[in-house]
Structure 1
Amino acid sequence: MTVTHPILDQIAAALEPYGLVQRGGIVFDEVNVPSPLIRGSHFRSVVLVGHFGSSIWPHFVRWREDHPGAQDPLDTWSREVLTAVAARFGATAVFPSDQPYLPFQQWAMCAEGLNTSPLGILIHPQYGLWHAFRGALLFDHVLDLSSGGPQRHPCDDCRDRPCLSACPVNAFSIDGYDVVRCRGHLASGEGDTCITGGCLARRACPVGHEHAYSAQQMRFHMHAFAKA
């Protein structure tokens, strides 16, 4: 859904210094996307927050230099930033790592009309696989959100599906993602190329390759995944 409520111009301005952007919004209804019950309260609207490419990276790196011992540093940074933004606008901040897990992928597919790639990651028609959702702002009232409709599915035009053949241990297939095989490869010492340069399957996708994460950001994510 395309966000049109005037308050979101102010939210966008509050997010911009961190390289974050609004990623669409939803007005909850009990038929399509039901209102979540969180901390005993139901909410009426949600605005998703995330980034494209490496827009957040320099801001996160500067924060991390001042917080060298932070646990789960990217999640901690996201919580710090979005909790403060939420407080300014009377919203409640929630995050993909919250438990019980919230349906972030469903929200994202409804909000931006995205589709799932063969790797299981949501693919954006412009940015490909190089984007993420860092959190969401929940409101207890209805925001004026107009529907933008579904996006074109980039994978429909991709016959070769290089993402499914690039993994050195064939962790990805039409049947799904073998996370145990992937982690085993990274831990074996033979996965250094994946750890230092980023997931080969993800990098093989031709969509939005010019927006790929920086080398430093790829290493950060791969190291975090390998240690999880």
Structure 2
Amino acid sequence: MLDRLSRWLAPHGLILRGAFHAAPEDGLPGSVRTLVLIGTAGSAMWQPFDEVRTPHTHALDIWTRELIEKLADEVGAQVFFPFGGPPYHPFQRWAGRAEPGLEPSPVMISCHPDYGLWHAYRGALAFKEKLSLSTPPTISSPCVGCADKPCLTACPVQAFDGKSYDVAACSDHIRSDAGQDCRDRGCLARRACAVGQDHAYAPDHARFHMDAFIKARR
């Protein structure tokens, strides 16, 4: 089943982001036995999305929902999304169950051992069947061995302190003339992380997310 899902998602730049067998503490319906996470890494999904996107404010969420719901219908799965709430599903907790070495970074984004800070979750498929899953390797978070933590010193307005995120300071900076670099190329703190640099978002992709962030703060 997992191979089938991967082949279906590949043309859209989406990938499987791990899977796990459901436990009572996962907050899933009792009928669910396996949860498979779907997401992105780098800008692989940007071109397929950019070719069909509309100027709608939530264009990416709409595109994601249509694709993953179509896949869910084909494989007989229930689907969950990290958007569209409340209520909101615990995707970060699910991600920690699905992928080894994934833990929150000092800038509040989960750092992946391979993708660094350049990844996202777009949905999850819930199956009533207990799918065959391989045992994931034991991997430590890349943040554990990072002594310098450049992500905490790169922000021009010190929006991150390792425990919290000053959204207002970040938003004001991005909208200002001084914030053009962040606005055009993506968050400087995010770009300072040495992990996953090969997966850093393409400029158009980064600008799309920054524009969406600015619109959400109006």
TM superposition score category, shorter chain reference = over 0.9
* C-alpha distance in structure 2 between counterparts of 1:143 and 1:175, whole Å: 37
Secondary structure of the corresponding residue to residue 173 of structure 1: coil
- From 167, 175, 194, the equivalent of 2:155 is 167
Question: Where does 1:44-59 land on structure 2 (aligned, <5 Å)?
Answer: 44-59=33-48
Secondary structure of the corresponding residue to residue 168 of structure 2: helix
User: Is the contact made by 2:57 and 2:212 (CA closer than 8 Å) also made in structure 1?
Assistant: no
TM-fit CA distance, 1:43: 1.9
* C-alpha distance in structure 2 between counterparts of 1:206 and 1:57, whole Å: 22
- From 183, 191, 196, the equivalent of 1:208 is 196
1:165-207 deviation per Cα after TM superposition (whole angstroms, max 9, x unaligned): 0001000012321112211222344322211111000000011
1:182 is the counterpart of 2:176: no
Secondary structure of the corresponding residue to residue 106 of structure 2: coil
Structure 1 runs not aligned, ≥5 long: 1-6
TM-score, reference length from structure 1: 0.88
* C-alpha distance in structure 2 between counterparts of 1:186 and 1:61, whole Å: 23
1:219 is the counterpart of 2:207: yes
Structure 2 runs not aligned, ≥5 long: none
**2:82 corresponds to:** 96
Question: Where does 1:147-158 land on structure 2 (aligned, <5 Å)?
Answer: 147-158=135-146
- In structure 2, relative to structure 1, the CA distance for the partners of 1:43 and 1:98 (3 Å cut) is farther
* C-alpha distance in structure 2 between counterparts of 1:74 and 1:158, whole Å: 33
- From 30, 34, 59, the equivalent of 2:26 is 34
Q: Which has the higher strand share?
A: 1
* C-alpha distance in structure 2 between counterparts of 1:182 and 1:206, whole Å: 21
* C-alpha distance in structure 2 between counterparts of 1:211 and 1:133, whole Å: 15
**1:60 corresponds to:** 49
User: Is the contact made by 1:35 and 1:42 (CA closer than 8 Å) also made in structure 2?
Assistant: no
User: Is the contact made by 1:112 and 1:151 (CA closer than 8 Å) also made in structure 2?
Assistant: no
* C-alpha distance in structure 1 between counterparts of 2:110 and 2:129, whole Å: 28
**1:3 corresponds to:** none
The count of aligned residue pairs is: 214
User: Is the contact made by 1:120 and 1:176 (CA closer than 8 Å) also made in structure 2?
Assistant: yes
User: Is the contact made by 2:108 and 2:165 (CA closer than 8 Å) also made in structure 1?
Assistant: yes
- From 55, 59, 63, the equivalent of 1:77 is 63
Q: Please, what is the CA RMSD of the aligned residues? A: 1.5
User: Is the contact made by 1:167 and 1:200 (CA closer than 8 Å) also made in structure 2?
Assistant: yes
**1:140 corresponds to:** 128
- From 168, 180, 188, the equivalent of 1:192 is 180
Identity of aligned residues (%): 46
- From 107, 110, 118, the equivalent of 1:122 is 110
* C-alpha distance in structure 2 between counterparts of 1:11 and 1:47, whole Å: 10
- In structure 2, relative to structure 1, the CA distance for the partners of 1:150 and 1:117 (3 Å cut) is farther
**1:19 corresponds to:** 13
Secondary structure of the corresponding residue to residue 143 of structure 2: helix
Tell me which moved more, 42-51 or 88-97: 42-51
User: Is the contact made by 2:26 and 2:94 (CA closer than 8 Å) also made in structure 1?
Assistant: no
Secondary structure of the corresponding residue to residue 82 of structure 2: coil
TM-fit CA distance, 1:35: 4.3
1:8 is the counterpart of 2:5: no
TM-score, reference length from structure 2: 0.92
Runs of 4+ in 1 over 4 A off after TM superposition: none
* C-alpha distance in structure 2 between counterparts of 1:69 and 1:125, whole Å: 34
